[in-house]
Amino acid sequence: MPDTLTLTDNRTGLTYEVPIEDGAVRANALRQVKVEEADFGLMSYDPAFLNTASVRSAITFIDGDVGILRYRGYPIEQLAVDSTYLETAFLLLFGELPTKDELARFEHEVTYHTFVHENVKTLMTGFRYDAHPMGMFVSVVAALGTLYPEASKVDDPDVRLAQVIRLIAKVPTIAAWSYRHNKGLPYVYPDNDLGFAENFLSMMFKMAESKYSPDPALVRALEVLFILHADHEQNCSANAMRAIGSSKVDPYSALAGAAAALYGPLHGGANEAVLRMLAQIGDVKHVPEFVERVKSGEGRLMGFGHRVYKNYDPRAKIIKETADSVFEVTGRNPLLDIALELEKIALEDEYFVSRKLYPNVDFYSGLIYQALGLPTAMFPVLFAIPRTAGWLAQWLEGIVDPEQKIARPRQIYIGAAERNYVPVDQRTAGARDLVAAH
């Protein structure tokens, strides 16, 4: 059997044979389908890319039906137990796990680039006292690019690598300072004796002590959360990173755009919504009543359901176990009992079972962040720190992919046909009146 698709255009009776490669047909193959020679040719229409692959990627594999997530072939469950965030970042960026020497060098390079130019500090102090930390993060990452004008040479592999190291190293500093700014506390400089997650906690919480030493169980929990959030193939922000990067702008500008996409409540903000929901339920005994309200269409069960996973999100399973190790140190988050009861009832309920709605990564992560003393406004920032590795891996892959050009979708124009300009005193309804009428 040939790997082709035969199309018949019923408008003309003509048939076309289109090759199938890797389970896909090239949308451009449809362009030959025309009624008249002068036609543009057939297009595919796919708002939100529901069934369109925009890249060929070797970074992250997801099988949402069975709940599989792998980075470069390695199961997320193994990386969460055996790896560190920086080792995982190396894997995502360069395709293989590092040798001992490579890892030591990468850790050294990242550690020694955690400081930011003092101008960054001056810039950050200019934000209003209550500026949202994610708004600060997005702006400061973009501003960082102005300090490295050479970053625009995106076709130079050495220049690319230097910016990759800088970005991975500096995002925790910017993130922690956005928190300190909100608190009105002095910014804490990086401590190069500490590991990646430990240093981040130090920049967040260090006060008068000469050395900040967080509980190792909490450091490991944060490291695991960083590993789990490092990449998730072509999600909204990764797609933004690739699309902006395809214009060959510097990676700081592209990454600021990706972070802006993550800022949205449908992407990086769901764990905050979970906490609000759990607080609103208030007590385990109100859970059945809340579930009934969701089933009758009154809102959604936040932290449940996923566009890709139609099974238990593998990250949620690991996060649930991580939560236990955190609560052993911090004490049990009282909202956990409500979450567990909610999960138990929902997993047995026909409404959720038939729609394949399972807990996603956000269902338990907010509880851990809260137990670590992190405010909800910081949740998307905590997501952005590790996702920086994923965004950069996606960007690097896109930059060297000979098939990638500047991202530029087509449209189906549905507006007015050509018409003549009407002088202002002859117009009846203005555009604003028309909008108001809708």
Q: Please report how close the Cβ of residue 395 comes to ligand CMC at its closest, in angstroms.
A: 19
Contact by Cβ (8 Å): 238, 397? no
Among 270, 338, 368, 392, binds ligand CMC (CB under 6 A): 270
Interface region with ligand CMC, contact rule CB under 6 A, candidates 9-17, 32-40, 129-137, 360-368: 360-368
Q: Please report how close the Cβ of residue 199 comes to ligand CMC at its closest, in angstroms.
A: 26
Active-site option among 231, 232, 306, 313: 306
CA distance 142 to 255: 8
Among 355, 375, 409, 410, binds ligand CMC (CB under 6 A): 355
Interface region with ligand CMC, contact rule CB under 6 A, candidates 195-203, 249-257, 353-361, 365-373: 353-361
314 lies in the binding site for ligand CMC (CB under 6 A): no
Contact by Cβ (8 Å): 241, 71? no
Cross-strand partners of 4: 19
Backbone angles phi, psi at 71, to 5 degrees: -100, 120
Q: Please report how close the Cβ of residue 234 comes to ligand CMC at its closest, in angstroms.
A: 11
294 lies in the binding site for ligand CMC (CB under 6 A): yes
Question: Which residues, 6+ apart, have CB-to-CB distance to 227 below 8 Å?
Answer: 76, 79, 80, 83, 84, 85, 88, 386
Q: Please report how close the Cβ of residue 235 comes to ligand CMC at its closest, in angstroms.
A: 6
Among 293, 307, 344, 410, binds ligand CMC (CB under 6 A): 307
Q: Please report how close the Cβ of residue 133 comes to ligand CMC at its closest, in angstroms.
A: 18
Q: Please report how close the Cβ of residue 270 comes to ligand CMC at its closest, in angstroms.
A: 3
Classify 88 as helix, strand or coil.
helix
Active-site option among 231, 250, 313, 362: 362
Between the CA of residue 323 and those of 16, 116, 217, 231, 284, what are the distances in Å? 55, 32, 11, 21, 19
Among 167, 238, 323, 361, binds ligand CMC (CB under 6 A): 361
Q: At what angle do helices 157-183 and 85-94 cross, to 10 degrees?
A: 140
304 lies in the binding site for ligand CMC (CB under 6 A): yes
Active-site option among 113, 117, 132, 267: 267
391 lies in the binding site for ligand CMC (CB under 6 A): no
The site that binds ligand CMC (CB under 6 A) totals a number of residues, namely 17
Between the CA of residue 257 and those of 56, 149, 365, what are the distances in Å? 22, 18, 24
Between the CA of residue 35 and those of 31, 40, 41, what are the distances in Å? 11, 10, 8
267 lies in the binding site for ligand CMC (CB under 6 A): yes
Q: What angle do CA 135, 140, 145 make, to 5 degrees?
A: 140
CA distance 424 to 21: 55
Q: Please report how close the Cβ of residue 361 comes to ligand CMC at its closest, in angstroms.
A: 5
List the x/- string, 199-238, binding to ligand CMC by CB under 6 A: ------------------------------------x---
Q: Is 306 a catalytic residue?
A: yes
Please state, as a whole number, how many other Cβ atoms lie within 10 Å of the Cβ of residue 282.
13
Among 72, 160, 206, 306, binds ligand CMC (CB under 6 A): 306
Interface region with ligand CMC, contact rule CB under 6 A, candidates 157-165, 219-227, 281-289, 297-305: 297-305
Could you report how far apart the first and last alpha carbons of the chain are, in Å? 53
CA distance 157 to 155: 6
DSSP per-residue string spanning 193-218: TS-HHHHHHHHHH--S-SS----HHH
Residue carrying structure tokens 């400081």: 115
Residues that bind ligand CMC (CB under 6 A): 235, 267, 270, 294, 300-307, 355, 357, 360-362
Which residues are part of the catalytic machinery? 267, 306, 362
